[in-house]
A and B are shown apart, each in its own frame.
Chain A
């Protein structure tokens, strides 16, 4: 994998622990970048599969986030809603090295609509 496959986004410390930041590529749907208590980083489209709530604004606990609108709980590693709710949000591949966070180019480039449709099929 060439370094060209990855977009540099920010430093790990730019994301609050047990929190999230919004990443905005001009003209594209927002991406939510999460950091867990144990410094794992996950990226999801910033849309809850339920009613489109901004997941970046939720409470991050373990490797999950609770949507701020109606408290759906979404797994950060798969984008899938925790049962019994059903639905999924598209995830993006993340690379984290030397305290720097990168997103995979192909995932960023993929149109949000396509990514979400794929996530739904996968779930």
Chain B
């Protein structure tokens, strides 16, 4: 054991960004630092975002505390609350608080947040004139609402309107003064702002628009009594709240000689000009932007913690943000460039009577901005499209009508997160209702979909309700929520995304799990149940014949080559080429059912036969007795090729679909892929094999075959898209094979073809497979090479690296101890 004095880390600012950095740091390197925290407010770390609900009387201060006193104690953190730091000595490396408390540092983290901007007008220091920033302000406003009648809120932005609404709910007569003639000009266009104003007026708020405040007038006791505008008009006010903006709090940093320009200047690693000093949160200016929303701050916290933990591989490259107003009952959402310009196109929908307005701004076939009022159901979806920069030309016609109109049969009826009742079920897989999610968000202080998933299980299974969970998160957290960054790590074991991992494996010729994890500095010894199967797939698909398949990195189904069932038994599905069978196979199946007393026999949707309730010990014998190839019904691999009867028997058939299907299945079976792969071949456009909802669907027409790709009949039904028309069987094999190899090489693990094509675009697939003949042939050749000597795990287990020990339990006999 190496004895080493711990380094000292001092955090100035006990707010959300700073403390989140500590949380992230403790996760990565719990013992690296002695940590000391200074906070000017006499409270533990609380959720500043939720001050509006506190003001409106919907929550209490206790409910919005994020880390209570015990948290600091349990993590060995020294907390000086109520002590403001007044000096940083960068040479001798210590800080001094107002009361003389000193603390030395090796690293210093500035999270001093921001100050409200106060109008420099006469009367700004009178009693009853407040900013809206912290718990003290909130308490003062609540106190004033009990005693006084007239309130004026200066500033018609997000914060001002939330303050006005809260005061109105506490019974005050509230006027909002705004210097421009439209509200929330930074988040809304003029039309949406007009609708917002009308709806707030209906709630009893009054507005003084395009008014410049000239002075605040005092009564005899030095308390404010009225507001005077330029031009001389006066309105009564015993409480004035200034909410015209915030300024990064850089005074301390400037006094210490750190470079500041509308925020403390930081690099992509959140370091200031003094590399020992970091800054995160509202006080920091990154590439010229000081963020005031919580999601970017948390991204910064993560990067900063990574650096403090001496990993040094995190990079912050800025955030795209979205806005929502936390006024109960008003739905408003905006993101990106919602005003547009000369090079953009707009799609708008306006129903002024119904109070609905939507505007989408498009540039170069990509969504670049959105402004929604009255119906924000699809806010999260638009925001996702915007962040991903996905081409929307293929869905442009229905874009305005939302994700539900893309054919989301799963949840389209329930996607109005804000309007949903608490009992409404959100996650059908895990039976989680909205109330449970909202409660978890509020009581556990959750900010991300991942955290909600962990705590409630919502969206942790099939994931089809992820958008809805995101919306509930947004509507519960309100204004400052913005979704997770675009580039997501595979799991908590790494900081790298699927794309980066795959690239590293390819470019550095990594051929084993351990080598890959070591090279990419995995934070866990051998990954987890999420990343290990993904890495294993990337290795074997990138380096066929070279990378070693690790059965312990595969989910049990692919390790036992059968499907685990709820009671721990397995199901066995032998392969039936193109859905064709014969008396001998059926007889063997029947014999197996009798011999091993298999309780259930079912015909599957993929035209084969499923034997359910098989004991693991019997699997090997059953495979042997069946004497049929593995159906891979348990694997992320080619499952079935469904066929119709075709021209051999059908009076309408134009092509021999059964033969085509068998040829495809024989060419592609044993093909592992990012996810399961299903094909179908129909012999005529009546399409009895349902080719329209398959990963590759083939439909015979008089002159040849039409190929469709990226269909899906699962969670969300997606109709396959037309890909090309071909003449011969050989062409069908080559084109279908090339498309699937592209998916195998570039699809992310657990990404179905529909999502893969959605991500890279159908045009890209066409370019690679249709336009580039050499490339197509090379793809097809690589697939054939990969499948060259892939073994059937049921009949060549040794070659397929099946660990046979698993099929025999270690048997032991209890021997009573002799007395």
In Å, the complex CA distance between A84 and B568 comes to 24
For the complex, give the distance between the alpha carbons of A37 and B528 in Å.
Answer: 12
- Point out the residues of chain A lying under 8 angstroms from B455, CB to CB: 84
- Total count of chain A residues near the partner, CB < 8 A: 42
A51-B566, A57-B560 are known contacts. Are A16 and B813 too (CB-CB below 8 A)?
no
Contact A25 B814 (CB under 8 A): yes
B256 to chain A, nearest CB (A): 40
Chain B residue nearest to A17 in the complex (CB): B552
Q: Which residues of chain B have C-beta atoms less than 8 A from A94's C-beta? A: none
A46 and chain B: residue at smallest CB distance = B568
A109/B529 in contact, CB under 8 A:
no
Please encode chain B, from 448 to 471, with 1 for each CB lying within 8 Å of some chain A CB and 0 for all others: 000000110000110000000000
A119 interface contact, C-beta 8 A: no
Q: Is B568 a contact of A61 with CB atoms below 8 Å? A: no
- Check A59 against B555 for contact (C-beta < 8 Å): yes
Q: A61-B524, A69-B566 are in contact. Are A30 and B556 (CB under 8 A)?
A: no
Contact of B529 among A33, A51, A73 (CB under 8 A): A73
CB proximity to A under 8 Å, residues B602-636: none
With both chains docked as a complex, state the minimum distance between the C-beta of A122 and any C-beta of chain B, in angstroms: 21
Cα of A93 to Cα of B526 in the assembled complex, Å: 24
Contact with A along B567-610 (1 / 0, CB 8 A): 11000000000000000000000000000000000000000000
In the complex, the answer to whether A4 meets B806 with C-beta atoms within 8 Å is no
Report if A38 contacts B (CB, 8 A).
yes
A9 and B526 contact, CB distance less than 8 A: no
Q: Tell me the complex Cα distance, A19–B529, Å.
A: 12
What is the CB-to-nearest-CB distance from B802 to chain A, in angstroms, rounded to a whole number?
11
Is A81 located at the chain interface by the 8 A CB criterion?
A: no
B70 within 8 A of A: no
Please indicate which of the listed interface residues A19, A52, A59 has the most CB atoms of chain B within 10 Å of its own CB. A59
Whether B813 contacts A26 by the Cβ 8 Å rule is yes
Determine if B810 and A33 form an interchain contact, defined as CB atoms under 8 angstroms apart: yes
Residues of A within 8 A of B529 (CB): 58-59, 61, 66, 71, 73
The one of A16, A18, A27, A58 in contact with B556, judged by C-beta atoms closer than 8 angstroms, is A58
Asked if A25 contacts B813 (CB within 8 A), the reply is yes
Inter-subunit contact A18/B552 (CB<8 Å): yes
Q: Known A61-B528, A71-B529; judge A23-B809 contact (CB<8 A).
A: yes
What chain B residues lie within 8 Å of A73 (beta carbons)?
528-529
Cβ-based interface call for B393 (8 A): no
Docked-complex contact A68 and B813, CB < 8 angstroms: no
Query: In the complex, A17 Cα to B525 Cα: how many Å?
Result: 13
A33 to B455, CA, bound (A): 29
Note all chain B residues with C-beta closer than 8 A to A4.
Answer: 817
Nearest to B533 among chain A residues (CB) is A59
The verdict on A10 contacting chain B, using a C-beta distance below 8 Å, is yes
User: How far does the alpha carbon of A38 sit from the alpha carbon of B514 in the complex, in Å?
Assistant: 13
Q: Are A24 and B809 CB-contacts (below 8 A) given A19-B803, A59-B532?
A: yes
777-819 of chain B: CB within 8 A of chain A: 803, 805-806, 809-814, 817
Q: Which of B455, B533, B805 has the most CB of A within 10 A?
A: B805
Given contact pairs A61-B528, A66-B528, A16 touches B805 in the complex (Cβ within 8 A): yes
Q: Please indicate the chain B residues that have their CB under 8 angstroms from the CB of A71 in the complex.
A: 460, 529
Contact A38 B564 (CB under 8 A): no
Does B296 touch A at the CB level, under 8 Å? no
Closest to A15 in B: B805
What are the interface flags for B758-784 relative to A under an 8 Å C-beta threshold, 1 for contact and 0 otherwise?
Answer: 000000000000000000000000000
The docked-state distance in angstroms from the alpha carbon of A53 to that of B564 is 10
- Interface readout for B523-554 with A: 1 if CB under 8 Å, 0 if not? 01111110011000000000000000001110
Are A109's CB and B809's CB within 8 A? no
Q: Which residues of A contact B555 (CB under 8 A)?
A: 59, 68
A56-93 residues at the B interface, CB under 8 angstroms: 57-62, 64, 66, 68-71, 73, 84
Which of chain A's residues have a CB closer than 8 A to the CB of B454? 84
**B810 and A23 contacting across the interface, CB-CB below 8 Å:** yes
- In angstroms, how far is the closest chain A Cβ from the Cβ of B284? 32
- Give CA–CA (A26, B817) in the complex, Å: 16
Q: Which of A17, A25, A68, A109 contacts B812 (CB 8 A)?
A: A25
Query: B814 to chain A: which residues have CB within 8 Å?
Result: 25-28, 108-109
Q: Does A21 contact B (CB under 8 A)?
A: yes
- Hey, which chain B residues are within 8 Å of A118, CB to CB? none
Kindly report which residue of chain A lies nearest to residue B560, judged by CB atoms: A57
The answer on a CB contact under 8 Å between A69 and B526 is no
Smallest CB separation, B556 vs chain A (Å): 4
* A54 partner residues in chain B, CB cutoff 8 A: 564, 568
Q: How far is the CB of A113 from chain B (nearest CB, A)?
A: 17
Q: How far, in Å, is A101 (CB) from chain B's closest CB?
A: 9
Give the contacting residue for A21; candidates B524, B526, B810, B813; CB below 8 A.
B810
Q: Decide yes or no whether A100 CB sits under 8 A from chain B.
A: no
Q: Are B812 and A9 in contact (CB under 8 A)?
A: yes
Is B809 a contact partner of A37 (Cβ separation < 8 A)?
no
Given A51-B566, A59-B532, A10 and B810 contact (CB-CB distance below 8 Å)? yes
Complex formed: what's the CA distance from A84 to B451 in Å? Answer: 10
Please determine whether A38 and B556 come into contact, CB atoms closer than 8 angstroms: no
Say whether, besides A26-B814, A33-B810, A57-B560, A21 and B805 are in contact (CB < 8 Å): yes
Q: List 6 interface pairs A-B (beta carbons < 8 Å), by A numbering.
A: A16-B803, A54-B564, A57-B560, A59-B532, A59-B533, A61-B532
Closest 7 CB pairs of A and B: A66-B529, A22-B809, A59-B529, A57-B556, A24-B809, A54-B568, A68-B556
Extra 19 A-B pairs, beta carbons < 8 Å, given A16-B803, A22-B809, A58-B529: A4-B817, A7-B812, A9-B810, A19-B552, A19-B803, A21-B805, A24-B810, A24-B811, A24-B812, A27-B814, A38-B525, A57-B556, A57-B560, A61-B529, A66-B528, A68-B564, A70-B461, A71-B460, A84-B455
